[in-house]
Structure 1
Amino acid sequence: MYLRPFLLNVFFSNRFIHAKVMHRGTSKVVSVASTNAKDLRNTLPSLVDDDACRTVGRLIAERSKEADVYAMAYDLRKGERIEGKLGIVIDTIKENGIIFVD
């Protein structure tokens, strides 16, 4: 548990995508990206498509690195698999230099 202090949380609604990275011990939010944010809402053609997933993943990776976070974990919920939109977000974060630990 102490080897995975930073946890990725991704939420998908019908209208937007929201992701944040938190420190497990202190619950301090390290980075946040949402297609509901004013800067993205006005520039993305769709707030829930694959392109939006890639944008959120890239922003989370950049903002996490700015906060000196280079590794994080994602805890699967019951019955959840890393595929589809969640897979795109996580793959984009990995492509931008963040390591995922189990």
Structure 2
Amino acid sequence: MASTKDSLRRRASRIRRSIKKVANGRPRLSVHRSSKNIYAQIIDDAAGRTLAAASTLDPSLRTELKTGADVAAASAVGKLVAERAKEAGVVDVVFDRGAFIYHGRVKALADAAREGGLNF
């Protein structure tokens, strides 16, 4: 019987595989959510490098957030990653939710990134 970690890893790779098929050269906005923090990266899969990143562990966000594990923190990370992506010259991305359901903190990050100017 597969463990929970194995099934999450399989689900994330299945989602990532389908995203890479429809990406058409666009970088992907990858989201990881833990129990205490949320992380976002814009990754160029063709070059294999990270173009922009943000998380609740950034010093600029840590001081203004009460906790890194709520919807407000996810929105702040979404806005910050959108700003950094625009600085890097990225506007169009594909959204990679990983093994996480598009709900709550993941959805708040995506909505904030859209408001920040990213298209996906």
TM-score, length-scaled by structure 1: 0.86
1:9-46 Cα distance to aligned partner (Å, 9 max, x none): 11111111111101010121111101012222222111
Which whole-Å CA distance do the structure 2 matches of 1:84 and 1:96 have between them?
18
Which whole-Å CA distance do the structure 1 matches of 2:103 and 2:37 have between them?
18
Where 2:51 maps in the other structure, the secondary structure is strand
Q: Indicate the structure with greater helix content.
A: 2
Task: Give unmatched runs, 5+ long, in structure 2.
Answer: 1-20
Of residues 41, 60, 66, the one that matches 2:81 is 60
For 2:96, the equivalent position in structure 1 comes to: 75
Determine if contact 1:8/1:22 at 8 Å carries over to the other structure.
yes
Of residues 9, 32, 36, the one that matches 1:11 is 32
For 2:15, the equivalent position in structure 1 comes to: none
Task: Give unmatched runs, 5+ long, in structure 1.
Answer: none
Rg larger in structure: 2
Runs of 4+ aligned residues of structure 1 deviating over 2 Å after TM superposition are: 75-78
1:43-94 Cα distance to aligned partner (Å, 9 max, x none): 211111111011000001110011110010023546x432211111111111
For 1:38, the equivalent position in structure 2 comes to: 59
Alignment of 1:21-32 (within 5 A): 21-32=42-53
Which whole-Å CA distance do the structure 1 matches of 2:98 and 2:87 have between them?
28
- RMSD of aligned residue pairs (Cα, Å): 1.6
Identity %: 29
Which whole-Å CA distance do the structure 2 matches of 1:45 and 1:84 have between them?
17
Q: Indicate the structure with greater strand content.
A: 1
Which whole-Å CA distance do the structure 2 matches of 1:44 and 1:75 have between them?
25
Determine if contact 1:4/1:73 at 8 Å carries over to the other structure.
no
